[in-house]
Amino acid sequence: MAIPTSEERREAAANLRKIHLGGANKDLIELMLSDAIGAWHENGISWDYITERLVDLIDPTCKVEDDNPFMSDFAYICNSCGEHFSTCDKPNYCPGCGARLV
């Protein structure tokens, strides 16, 4: 099996976000997937939580916000890990957590 490309991972993540699980096997599927990926939630098992966990494993993303230029020397801050960084051009990946910047 070939290593998936970034585009294939993004497509798989987008498809997972669209799935709405139903039917008789819903509880069993949720239980098996949550156990396999460590998606136990404090309020029980939720299909939305499972798909978000899978998406984060397949294609982790974070958003970069402009840092306050009057408070620090940094130009950007990651909303996931809080990493502050400065660069002339916004990078494709966060230097702190490594997630793809969107």
pLDDT tens per residue across span 5-54: 888 888 888 887 777 667 767 778 888 888 888 777 666 777 788 888 88
Q: Name the DSSP class of 69.
A: T
pTM of the full structure: 0.59
Angle at 29 between CA 36 and CA 34, to 5 degrees: 30
